[in-house]
Amino acid sequence: MILVDSKADLLVNGMGDNLLREILALLRKGVPFSSLKTIAQTSYLQALDQEIPKNKNWPKTITLSAHETYFQDKKAYAVNFKHVEQESNKLKAHRIVQPVKTWNAIINPPFYTMTENEIDQSFDLPDTRLPHPKYKKRGPIPVYEMIKFSINTHRRCFGGCSFCTISAHQGKFIASRSKKSIMKEVDKVTEMPDFKGYISDLGGPSANIYGLKGKVQSICDRCVSPSCIHPVVCDNLDTDHSAMTQIYKEVDAHPKIKKAFVGSGIQYDLLVKSYNKKANDSIDAYMEQVVTRHISGRLKVAPEHTSDETLKVMRKPSFKHFHNFKKKYDDLNKKHDLNQELIPYFISSTPNCKEEDMANLAAETKDMGFRLEQVQDFTPTPMTVATVIYYSGYHPYTMK
Ligand code: SF4
Distance of CA 291 to the CA centre of its chain: 23
What per-residue confidence (pLDDT) applies to 57?
87
What per-residue confidence (pLDDT) applies to 251?
98
| Position 283 confidence tier, pLDDT thresholds 50, 70, 90 | very high
For ligand 1, whether the C-beta of 223 sits within 6 Å is yes
Measure 355 CA to ligand 1 centroid, in angstroms. 35
Length of the chain: 400
- Which of 212, 228, 270 has most ligand 1 atoms within 8 Å of CB, for mutation? 228
What per-residue confidence (pLDDT) applies to 78?
97
Measure 148 CA to ligand 1 centroid, in angstroms. 34
Q: For residue 388, with 0-12 CB atoms within 10 Å meaning exposed, 13-18 middle and 19 or more buried, which class applies?
A: buried
What per-residue confidence (pLDDT) applies to 138?
87
Q: For residue 398, with 0-12 CB atoms within 10 Å meaning exposed, 13-18 middle and 19 or more buried, which class applies?
A: exposed
For ligand 1, whether the C-beta of 237 sits within 6 Å is yes
Q: What is the pLDDT of residues 60-108, one digit of tens each?
A: 999 999 999 988 999 999 999 999 999 999 999 999 999 999 999 999 9
DSSP string, 361-399: HHHHHHHTT-----EEEP---TT-HHHHHHHHSS-TTT-
Average pLDDT, the chain: 95
Taking the CA of residue 158 as reference, the ligand 1 atom at the shortest distance is 8
Q: What is the pLDDT of residues 297-329, one digit of tens each?
A: 999 999 999 999 999 999 999 999 999 999 999
What per-residue confidence (pLDDT) applies to 167?
85
What per-residue confidence (pLDDT) applies to 302?
96
119 has a pLDDT exceeding 90: yes
What per-residue confidence (pLDDT) applies to 212?
98
Q: What is the pLDDT of residues 255-268, one digit of tens each?
A: 999 999 999 999 99
What per-residue confidence (pLDDT) applies to 271?
98
| Position 168 confidence tier, pLDDT thresholds 50, 70, 90 | confident
Terminal Cα distance for the chain, rounded? 27
DSSP string, 280-327: -THHHHHHHHHHHHS-SSEEEEEEE-S-HHHHHHHT---THHHHHHHH
What per-residue confidence (pLDDT) applies to 374?
82
| Position 155 confidence tier, pLDDT thresholds 50, 70, 90 | very high
Q: Which residues pair with 96 in a beta bridge?
A: 62, 107
| Position 59 confidence tier, pLDDT thresholds 50, 70, 90 | confident
Domains of the chain: 2-107 (no CATH), 116-392 (3.80.30.20)
Cβ–Cβ < 8 Å for 291, 336? yes
Rounded percentage of the chain residues whose pLDDT exceeds 70: 100
What per-residue confidence (pLDDT) applies to 1?
82
Q: What is the pLDDT of residues 373-397, one digit of tens each?
A: 889 999 999 899 999 999 999 999 9
Rounded percentage of the chain residues whose pLDDT exceeds 90: 88
Measure 90 CA to ligand 1 centroid, in angstroms. 10
**What would the mean pLDDT of 150-177 be, rounded to a whole number?**
94
For ligand 1, whether the C-beta of 150 sits within 6 Å is no
Listed residue (147, 198, 154, 146) closest to 177, CA to CA: 154
| Position 240 confidence tier, pLDDT thresholds 50, 70, 90 | very high
Listed residue (208, 214, 205, 207) closest to 233, CA to CA: 214
Residue with the larger pLDDT of the pair 168 and 97: 97
**What would the mean pLDDT of 45-63 be, rounded to a whole number?**
92
